[in-house]
A and B are shown apart, each in its own frame.
Chain A
Amino acid sequence: MDANGLLQIFVYCLLIVALAPFVGRYLATVFAGGRTPAAAILGPVERGIYRLCGIRAGLEQHWTGYAGSLLAFNMLGVLLLFALQRIQHILPLNPAGVPAVPADLAFNTAVSFVTNTDWQAYAGEATLSYLTQMAGLTVQNFVSAATGIAVAVALARAFARRSAGTVGNFYVDLTRAALYVLLPACMLGTLMLVWQGVPQNLQAYTLATTLEGGQQVIAQGPVASQMMIKHLGTNGGGFFGQNAAHPFENPTPLTNMVHMIAIFAIGAGLTNAFGRMVGDMRQGWALLAAMGVLFLAGVLAAYWAESQGNPALSALGIAGPVNLEGKEVRFGIATSVLFAVITTAASCGAVIAMHDSLMPLAGMVSLVNMMLGEIIVGGVGAGLYGMLLFVVLAVFIAGLMVGRTPEYLGKKVEAREVKLALVAVLALASGILGLAALATVLPAGLVSVQDAGPHGLSEILYAYASAAANNGSAFAGFGANTPYQNAMLGLGMLVGRFLVIVPVLAIAGALAAKKTVPASAGTLPTHGVLFVGLLVGVIVIVGGLTFFPAVALGPIAEHLLTGAALF
């Protein structure tokens, strides 16, 4: 750990905190239906969309209607994306002439992009046509992110409303998220990336002769446009198999910083927007503070673990003090670790270093980030609503200790909310533990494992945590493209996404209908250091209790095997 590395981490955090209020104000305006600077151009487009699709923008939905629309829209997305991959070979914009995608892989990829996971069991440049990348994946990158934001906004509305029957209109929230938030930001960001040298073309791959006289195919295409939404929408699906470690995706330190900021920008901004929507900015800051504590703990632990170097290599005298294998050597250890923690904290899954090559404890930080449910800033929208689920649990467990029925923001937390929050927690836990356990006993699951010992278990755990938490990053050694894994990981993604979203919307419906109890000295304060500490404690304990045994057998056992001490 050196000053330079720590400074990078510190500056990054500072930038995110500084950006949050601006993003938050903009988001709050957009979802209150307010007028934004771009309204002159986008307003007619928005109204055009509503007219075209027959959406009655003024009509709000009950939570069941909202959830129904969301599920229908997303399932249609899965079908369309599946179909597109299956017939891409007969469609235009396929200069590399890639064939149709096999059914199991097409299913996995369709689910993966619709659920905002962007798990890629394939290498993009060798499997998908430009049309599939642009009309399929990029579209889903936008709408899956917009879906997440919509759910978070609906939940925030529910806290803000009193005795209300509706939580908003899904189609309006979806359209506004994509049109006013994601699209303008991506346009600006894409231009910036192109300026920095990221390709944006529809040309066939270039054939080059290397200095040694060998032949090299240089893949390219509409990269820049996918890069920006990949990070801003916490999708993480790279244009190239190497993801952001590929110099065409991430050519300079500046693009790297833009990528990192883009990953947290909306997630952090949403906490601020939440504070504005419920009428108390401090509530938003408290959530961001809890996320910040967990983030800093993770990034510092991972950075420390990497800085210790690999005892096995040191013993042989073949490596320096740090383990650079699999790291982004252009940017160094600190940046590689920072990116790895950001991308797993935020359900993005874009990578600049191979997580498989992280030291066991740094890999564990990535794994745990996902196991906690991607709530440390988290996926766009998903991070906020995931965190609010933990708030419900924390308030219920500890809130009783002030001698009142637990309440958050004036809403009483009762049997129904607790039940629904637990359904979501259980969905995630069974998606990770249940499916991973299955993969460790079935031969069809075991063939994907590359390494023996605890690391092999880490590979399986990581894959299923990544799928169920809708992250999308992977331990590279894991052979994901098998019919079994494609099917089961796809299932994990669906469970981790929709079995969380539906309970969250149900909670939103229940909360919106409740009266708001005015705060008094007897009300549990939910904006101070104490509450942040309580929230972090509940997250760590509930998450820790659920995953400790599995993690002990994976990364912890591996770490101890390297001969290093635990503390």
Chain B
Amino acid sequence: MIHRTQEISLLDGRIALQALGAAFRKLAPGELARKPVIFVTAVGALLSTVLFLRTLLAGGAHTVVIGQISAWLWFTVLFATFAEAIAEGRGKAQAASLRRTRAETTARRIASPDASDWVAVPAASLQAGDLVLVEAGEVIPGDGDVVAGIATVDESAITGESAPVIRESGGDRSAVTGGTRVVSDRIVVAITAEPGQSFLDRMIGLVEGAKRQKTPNEIALDILLVGMTIVFLLVVATLPAFAHYSGAVIPVVFLVALLVTLIPTTIGGLLSAIGIAGMDRLVRFNVIAKSGRAVEAAGDVDTLLLDKTGTITLGNRQAAEFIPVQDVSERDLAEAAHLASLADDTPEGRSIVALARQRFGLTAGDPAGLTFVPFTAQTRMSGVDMDAAGAAGFAEVQDRPRSSSIRKGAPDAVLALLDQRAPRDLTSAVERVAKAGGTPLVVARDGRALGVVFLKDIVKPGIRERFQTLRAMGIRTVMITGDNAMTAASIAAEAGVDDFLAEATPERKLELIRAEQAKGKLVAMCGDGSNDAPALAQADVGVAMNTGTQAAREAGNMVDLDSDPTKLIEIVMIGKQLLMSRGALTTFSIANDAAKYFAIIPALFVASHPQLQALNVMGLSSPESAILSAIIFNALVIVALIPLALRGVRYSPAGAASLLRRNLLVYGLGGLAAPFAGIKAIDLLVNALGLA
């Protein structure tokens, strides 16, 4: 299944073989026209082939060289279509495994959620709004929302995660995906996707590249490439006039060769492969983008909105400290809290037990005689009641073998139980905990306050470093939390985010996004609930969690199948890498041209202006060999760069200045220098083989 662990090697033999066939099919004029630079190359190849045939039949100079040039021109076109084909091939390999899950299923359509009679219809014919009944063991026939019932669903088909998840009507976990399997219970699903528009369909379309539309940046780049091509057409078209004036005659095929080496064939040939590979990388990360545009926008993101819980902090709070009040000892408080938490199965309760045992070596005694009082939303506290016998069973309370009742809970709830007014140091302890970003839990025994348990939000390990990285990349992080401002400020400081929004409501979230956008910034966020949908839609990059509601999944422009909010950071990096790959190869392609001039210009004019031999700085052996070597280099460089196009250029998070310095050095200066060496080497080879 598509999962991060699965890697398709860059040049998988089977894919390469299939791509070879596809490369030839892509020679159809309609397909080529999508890539203007390659289209011009193909026209040049066709022209030189015709001229070659004419020379062959009628006789003329340079026949052998012209034949080879024609062949290499065709290779140039083929290498470009091959690059695209191989990128698509890798996507198709993923799509094929996806398709298998979309086996033909039959759906049980019902008229209303509580209807008992159903009609069997093929899943493919389901329309949005149809209601279907799905029971344990059945495959959910299409994307939709659970409108009745609760069930566990095995979503491993799309997420690769084997543990089943709960899906229920209402709330934030109502969305189900076609192709996933109900493991227990029965649910009624309202279909939300039209046939062929389902999640799975879109995913397949995206990884195959079939539905890929050019992104804004890609369009602008295409325009640049077309513009450069026209400039070079002008250069090459006017050259015969200047040559004629100078008493030189240039064979048309040599002019075609000059044109093709000058126009940016490298980036022109690899541009679509880069785009497809970018989507592919995202899918490999288990993120589905609804458009390439969103991936590109991710690279431009200025502000990242992150939910506190689950993203910045671990989902649950942990006991960090016992703060006794008045003359109560810390051990006393710990014992009471320990007892009250023994049956408390929440992560917070377990962490209290763990802390008490770690600090004072307490052990679990015999729970007989203990009556546990569970937490309810009404009382906002939990605790334990024990009779004298039960209490005696615990070593630590042996000196007070009498019945008692212990409560722990929200400060105001527990304080209401007290016999006397809250001691002053209790109030200050509660405040101290809140100020430090924690949650205070007051513990009381028999109407007397013992102290406060400091429940701390645990910031995820390593998250601070990630935010520093983001800051270096120029991205501002804003933490969103429902906590009050005091708590939020303290966690924000600990996690190292740049800003926070406390007491957040969906409306305030939306306001924040609009305010950032008004400042010209691009905002990314992730969300899962229905109330996140407006904000997800408003954000430039909205990543919906797969576990979220259908509304959220529709509103966002990406869906994270793993439902991991920190993945936003990776998405941003993939977006950046996509843009960088394009820029690097464009720079490389244009920088390459300098060397080609030094190869071809002296070759074209050395007959009429022998002194121009001085421009032959590479010392290429003959004019024919120089032209041939340049065109061979031009073709081979496309193949050589296919792995780079598929993998993307190396991206290490850093400021723009250092990224530019590094990339200019590698792709600018490297692009300037590489062809000098490459063309010279090919020239030596061409001569050794006696090709020219």
Contact = CB atoms under 8 A, between A and B. Distances in A.
A521 B655 contact: yes
B576 A418 contact: no
Interface in B251-280: 262
B631 to A, nearest CB: 17
A545 B302 contact: no
A397 B238 contact: no
B223 A398 contact: no
Interface residues of A, number: 65
Given A403-B579, A440-B245, A561-B611, A414 B220 contact: yes
B580 A400 contact: yes
Contact of A560 (B587, B590, B612, B668): B612
B615 A523 contact: no
B375 to A, nearest CB: 45
Contacts of B687: none
B246 A518 contact: no
Interface in A516-562: 516-518, 520-525, 528, 530, 533-534, 537, 541-542, 544-546, 548-550, 552-553, 556-557, 560-561
Given A401-B584, A403-B299, A396 B220 contact: yes
Contact of A557 (B237, B238, B611): B611
A436 interface: yes
B586 interface: yes
A565 B232 CA distance: 29
Contacts of B655: 521-522
A422 interface: yes
Q: Which range holds the interface residue count of chain B?
A: 35 or more
A546 B219 contact: no
Contacts of B584: 400-401
Nearest to A561: B611
A541 B593 contact: yes
A251 interface: no
B605 A553 contact: yes
Interface stretch (A20-28, A63-71, A425-433): A425-433
A548 B601 contact: yes
A553 B656 contact: no
Given A422-B223, A426-B231, A548-B601, A401 B611 contact: no
A404 B231 contact: no
B660 to A, nearest CB: 5
A400 B582 contact: yes
Contact of B615 (A398, A544, A552): A552
Interface string A24-47: 000000000000000000000000
A227 B597 CA distance: 43
A401 to B, nearest CB: 4
Contacts of B615: 552, 556, 566
Interface in B216-253: 216-217, 219-221, 223-224, 227-228, 230-232, 234-235, 237-239, 241-246
Nearest to A449: B245
A399 interface: yes
Contact of B231 (A398, A429, A524): A429
Contacts of B577: 403
Nearest to B577: A403
Contacts of B612: 552, 556-557, 560
A524 B660 contact: yes
B241 A437 contact: yes
Interface in B626-667: 651, 655-657, 659-661, 663-664, 667
A489 B404 CA distance: 107
Given A398-B664, A422-B230, A553-B246, 14 more contacts: A396-B224, A397-B586, A401-B584, A401-B659, A401-B663, A405-B217, A405-B300, A410-B520, A425-B231, A436-B242, A437-B242, A454-B246, A541-B593, A557-B605
15 contacts: A400-B217, A400-B221, A402-B656, A402-B659, A403-B575, A404-B299, A413-B220, A426-B230, A426-B231, A437-B238, A518-B520, A522-B475, A549-B597, A552-B601, A557-B605
Interface of B: 216-217, 219-221, 223-224, 227-228, 230-232, 234-235, 237-239, 241-246, 262, 296, 299-300, 302, 471-476, 519-522, 575-577, 579-580, 582-584, 586-587, 590-591, 593-594, 597, 601, 605, 609, 611-612, 614-615, 651, 655-657, 659-661, 663-664, 667-668
